[in-house]
Structure 1
Amino acid sequence: LGKKEDLAAHIRAIKRAWEEMEPGRAERASLSRIRYLEQQAEKLESKPELDKTDKETGTSTVERSRPSTQGSLTQGK
């Protein structure tokens, strides 16, 4: 536990030194993280649904982004 506490104290000291050298750094970093997370959330929301269930038959189909290679693997035998 002592090493973890020492590491945490060391990291806090580094962050304080950065903030003293460059005021506003922590706030800019926080805003940058928020923007990044929002972009990632938008990407997830805009992706097409990969697993769709046919409501009439109850069967599930998986859409593929590239053609299946199973046919080409069995043809070579």
Structure 2
Amino acid sequence: MLDNDVPALLVNATDDPRTLYAGAEAVREQWPSSRLLTVESARQHGLYGEYGNACVDERVNAYLRTGQLPAHDLTCKT
């Protein structure tokens, strides 16, 4: 368990060629105050502001604007 209560929004694609999705799941599991935003079937590393997925950009922008995490983990389609 990570000894960190800072809220964090983790963003990862299931087919990220640089950061394996299993790693994102492991971090999420050990960081209770985080949420995982998953992009299904995207073979992409850079997601926010780069990939062009409105679902990702809107959710990350909301987190940055308010500092509030979503109530649960979320999934965006490609």
With normalisation by structure 2, the TM-score equals: 0.22
Structure with more helix by fraction = 1
Larger radius of gyration: 1
Structure with more strand by fraction = 2
Q: Flag the structure with more relative contact order, 1 or 2, with Cα contacts below 8 A and sequence separation at least 6.
A: 2
